[in-house]
Amino acid sequence: MNEVMNTLLSHRSIRIYTEQPVEEAILEQIIKAVQAAPNWVNLQHVSVIAVKDKERLGKFAELCGGQGTIAQAPVFLIFCADFYRTWLACQEQGQAFDETVSQIDNLIVGANEVGIALGTAVAAAESFGLGTVPIGDIRLHALEAVEELNLPPYVVPMLGLCIGYPAEEPGIKPRLPKDAVYFEERYNPDLQPLLAQYDETYARYLKERPWNNRVGNWTQLAADFYRAPYSHYPEVPQMLRRQGFWSDRLT
């Protein structure tokens, strides 16, 4: 197995970091990898904002629901879906853009590109021996995050990523069976036996891990997370309106 595959298959979330800073040369390589990642029509609808100042890291830890990992990380990267540059291009060409950007497919494109970019950043960072953990709660207080980041219209914060040198070894979480996520020609909806198998594996992992032992399984985790009424990120619709991505077509 080559080194790229070793890095990808060794991924685990790191939430405790040493005090060693992330070298600027390595951070530059991570961003180069992000820029080299696939994107739609070469329109490059992603921007990344690095937060390194300790006071601001603490602020974003609060905005993300009190996640101390952010305050402790040397670098917190915030990945944004960015159509501001597209708006500028349209302005340059004398073309209207406001009605176009509010079509729901643009949100899908932006989310896709942010996901690709963050995944690329994780792989690049871990190839240098760094640890990472994605942070979805950058959308928890979305309006204040927009203010803190000075985001212009048509730019929305989607995901965060903590980066630093690991000060823990949490082990690798077991994943779903391949047959539950990979299909040939057609989707196979008969997944209950595979989920039952994975529930046993996941429950055993939770009991046996050396920290934060818990009792439960994967289907319980999924059901509990999406228990009604689900409103994990209540400010997102208002933030999308403010940033020019929301119209009646999206309601």
Tens digit of pLDDT for each residue in 27-51? 999 999 999 999 999 999 999 999 9
In a domain? residue 146: yes
Mean of per-residue pLDDT scores for the chain: 94
In a domain? residue 33: yes
Kindly tell me if the per-residue pLDDT of 244 is higher than 70. yes
Q: How many domains are contained in the chain? A: 1
In a domain? residue 223: no
**33, 46 in Cβ contact below 8 A?**
no
In a domain? residue 216: no
Rounded Cα distance, 66 and 121, in Å: 24
Q: How many helices (H) and strands (E) in the chain?
A: 11, 4
Instruction: Count CA within 13 A, CB hemisphere, residue 55.
Output: 1
In a domain? residue 238: no
When pLDDT is averaged across residues 113-123 and rounded to a whole number, the result is: 98
In a domain? residue 211: no
**Tokens of residue 23, six digits:** 């070298």
CA dihedral angle for residue 150, residue 155, residue 160, residue 161, rounded to 10 degrees? -100
When pLDDT is averaged across residues 238-251 and rounded to a whole number, the result is: 76
**114, 126 in Cβ contact below 8 A?**
no
Q: What angle do CA 162, 125, 2 make, to 5 degrees?
A: 145
Domain harbouring 24, CATH code: 3.40.109.10
Q: pLDDT tier at 248 (50, 70, 90 boundaries)?
A: low
In a domain? residue 87: yes
Q: pLDDT tier at 148 (50, 70, 90 boundaries)?
A: very high
Q: pLDDT tier at 78 (50, 70, 90 boundaries)?
A: very high
Q: pLDDT tier at 98 (50, 70, 90 boundaries)?
A: confident
Q: pLDDT tier at 250 (50, 70, 90 boundaries)?
A: very low
> Where in the sequence is the domain holding 163, given as residue range(s)?
3-171
In a domain? residue 198: no
